[in-house]
Chains A and B, each alone.
Chain A
Amino acid sequence: MSVRVESLTAGYGKAPVLHDISLEIESGRICALIGRNASGKTTLMRCINGILKPSKGSVFVSDREILAMKRVEIARLISLVPQGNYSPFQFTCLEIVLMGGVSRIKSWSAPCRKEKQRAEEICAEVGVIDLVDRPFNCLSGGQKQLIMLARALHQDSPVMLLDEPNAHLDFPNQHRMMGLMRRFVKERGVTALITLHDPNLALNYSDDVVMLKDGRVVAAGPTELLLDEVHLHEVFGEEIMVEKTVSGNHVVVPRNSAG
């Protein structure tokens, strides 16, 4: 299911954070959203998710305008893996994952056995089945993030938004998270928009890239064409090199770190 953003201007208070943004994220692909801090990545996600009302422009998911839909309808189309994951109360991981199915459950009801079975299957797919009975707040940052991913998958929506899913994750867990996303996009045909700080992850795992600077799109399109030294320099304002390793992979490094 594709996501289309048309002439979007949005922000908080009077000053806009995003300026006249237009882009399209194609169905069944991973799109990386990269840019410096305060470039408008999270604001764009909020607009796509219908959380923040833009002052101008529209967002369409499969030609349906987001703001014309009810919250429950949006949740059936879009799921979110949030940046922070703090709960003041001690839920078990299974209880957290089950909450992903709320848009399918009648308001006076609770998850049925089928829902529980489905949640456990997803936990198994994500590799967290051994955590289901553990208290969520007692998990490590990486484990929590995987539970959040399982909850979003349990929501079973065709579009997934992941807001800095790798924040607080160590090196292996960052690649585990991105590898899982790669697999789910391929297997389930979902469309994933992921905000990333590390261009290397975008280079390795994303099909497309949207590069933001000061609330404006610098470039948007296939990763292998756009994630080059010129665009990265424009986005990050640093001298950046894209080097080819002996194994043929590309790595992004700041020029001054090379010596």
Chain B
Amino acid sequence: MKKTYIIFSFIAFGIALLWALATGRYPIGLGDLLPLALSSLGFDGQVPPEMQMVFWNIRVPRILLSIAVGSGLSIAGVVFQALFRNPLAAPDILGVTAGSSFGAALAIMFFTTFVVGVQGFAFLFGVFAVSIAYFLANRSWDRSTSVLVISGIVVSAVFQAGVSILMYLADPYDQLAKIVFWIMGSFHVASWAKVQATLPVVVIGSALLSLFGWRLNIMTHNEEEALSLGVDVFRWRLFYLGTSTLIVASSVAAVGNISWVGLIVPHIARYLVGTEHRRLIPTAAFLGGGFLLVMDTVARTISSSEIPISIITSILGAPFLGYLVIHRSKNEALDVSPG
């Protein structure tokens, strides 16, 4: 049954990719996709230059970015849920999103309106926020993840307050709209420069997390158990948190805050392949990439103007998670047969 799901997922991903490539304000026929792809290899596919421009400079980087960000956020979601032993933990639990939003708002208000500059500020402040949360938690004698979560809440609250202050001070006709749109998240800013800045971090980070995936199984146990099994919990926690934070910070810095992906995709992946993280991480990456690709295509085609993607992910994602939870608990109730 689960193999069928996996084959179906690959077919669905292929269809979603073709749909995303063909659909948009400049429609591209399915028959033009092959000549367009070949045109990059020097073959004259007889396609109009404006179609080539839209395809290679707008649509392809946007699709690559949506797949990369979706995969990155989903893998980070899997890792954070495992580390915090909480299926409801999201990748922004330690304040990375709040920190990035503050960095982006700061850049928009005082420094630069260039997207790469805003991206750089967002990335640095995202990493900075998580570092403060980690530093605060390490000051406590209690080294459990609960203290880390509380530190994350504190740091998030401070940076969110900072964002509110900046929004209050922002020029309502220019800066405020930019800040709000950035916070809501969108791929309309996608470019090859953003792909180049984001993709290596996501790919290398995801590869590392997949490589060390089996050990993450042990991190889902409490500290005492994991230590007794021979895992230096505190060192490995730093590795998993650091790598995931870099992935999330680079994703959020590229396209803004995108809700729900890091929370629901790990659940869907777990439903398909179980909790074993060596299988779970690649599955979540694949599903997350596909999910955000579809959500972005919906966001840019559903109306005449582009809708911030977090609105779409929330409207579709939240009820879907609810459905999964109810459906799964019914199944588990049937499966349970303790002796």
Whether chains A and B associate is: yes
Q: Is the CB of A46 within 8 A of B220?
A: no
Tell me the A118-170 residues at the B interface (CB within 8 Å).
Answer: 135, 138-140, 143, 155
Bound complex: CA A53 to CA B144 (Å): 16
A163 to chain B: closest residue by CB: B224
A111 to chain B: closest residue by CB: B214
* Contact of B217 (CB < 8 Å), options: A46, A51, A88, A95: A95
Q: Is the CB of A108 within 8 A of B212?
A: yes
| B148 CB to nearest chain A CB (Å) | 16
The winner among A49, A71, A109 for most chain B CB atoms within 10 A is A71
Tell me whether A92 is interfacial, beta carbon within 8 Å.
yes
Q: Is the CB of A155 within 8 A of B229?
A: yes
| A177 CB to nearest chain B CB (Å) | 15
Stretch at the interface among B21-29, B30-38, B273-281, B297-305: B273-281
* Contact of A102 (CB < 8 Å), options: B85, B211, B218, B337: B218
Question: Which residues from A are CB-within-8-Å of B218?
Answer: 99, 102
Tell me whether B48 is interfacial, beta carbon within 8 Å.
no
21 contacts between A and B (CB under 8 A): A50-B227, A70-B232, A71-B230, A72-B230, A74-B230, A76-B230, A87-B220, A87-B221, A89-B87, A90-B274, A91-B217, A91-B275, A91-B276, A95-B217, A95-B276, A100-B229, A103-B229, A107-B212, A110-B278, A138-B332, A139-B338
Tell me whether A222 is interfacial, beta carbon within 8 Å.
no
Q: Is the CB of A99 within 8 A of B232?
A: no
Tell me the A82-97 residues at the B interface (CB within 8 Å).
Answer: 82, 84, 87-92, 95
* Contact of A143 (CB < 8 Å), options: B222, B224, B227, B339: B339
Question: Which residues from B are CB-within-8-Å of A108?
Answer: 211-212
List 4 additional A-B contacts (Cβ < 8 Å) besides A89-B82, A102-B215.
A72-B231, A84-B222, A99-B218, A107-B215
Tell me whether B86 is interfacial, beta carbon within 8 Å.
yes
Question: Which residues from B are CB-within-8-Å of A80?
Answer: 224-225, 228
Question: Which residues from A are CB-within-8-Å of B213?
Answer: 110
Closest 8 CB pairs of A and B: A75-B230, A103-B230, A80-B228, A110-B214, A140-B338, A89-B275, A72-B230, A138-B336
Bound complex: CA A91 to CA B217 (Å): 9
| A204 CB to nearest chain B CB (Å) | 25
Total interface residues on B, using CB and 8 Å? 33
Q: Range of interface residues on chain A? A: 35 or more
Given A88-B87, A89-B275, also A71-B214 (CB < 8 A)? no
Chain B interface (Cβ < 8 Å from any Cβ of A): 82, 85-87, 211-215, 217-218, 220-222, 224-225, 227-232, 270, 274-276, 278, 332, 335-339
* Contact of B274 (CB < 8 Å), options: A92, A99, A111, A155: A92
Q: Is the CB of B228 within 8 A of A51?
A: yes
Q: Is the CB of B224 within 8 A of A82?
A: yes
Question: Which residues from B are CB-within-8-Å of A9?
Answer: none
* Contact of B229 (CB < 8 Å), options: A75, A87, A107: A75
Q: Is the CB of A75 within 8 A of B276?
A: no
Given A107-B215, A108-B211, also A79-B228 (CB < 8 A)? yes
* Contact of A140 (CB < 8 Å), options: B228, B278, B339: B339
Bound complex: CA A74 to CA B232 (Å): 11
B221 to chain A: closest residue by CB: A87
Tell me whether A210 is interfacial, beta carbon within 8 Å.
no
A94 to chain B: closest residue by CB: B276
| B213 CB to nearest chain A CB (Å) | 8
A108 to chain B: closest residue by CB: B211
| B248 CB to nearest chain A CB (Å) | 21
| A133 CB to nearest chain B CB (Å) | 11
Tell me whether A227 is interfacial, beta carbon within 8 Å.
no
Question: Which residues from A are CB-within-8-Å of B211?
Answer: 108
Question: Which residues from A are CB-within-8-Å of B228?
Answer: 49, 51, 75, 78-80, 82
Question: Which residues from A are CB-within-8-Å of B85?
Answer: 88
Bound complex: CA A141 to CA B295 (Å): 43
* Contact of B227 (CB < 8 Å), options: A71, A90, A139, A140: A71
Q: Is the CB of B275 within 8 A of A99?
A: no
Bound complex: CA A75 to CA B224 (Å): 12
Question: Which residues from A are CB-within-8-Å of B275?
Answer: 89-91, 95
Q: Is the CB of A82 within 8 A of B230?
A: no
Bound complex: CA A50 to CA B228 (Å): 9
A148 to chain B: closest residue by CB: B225
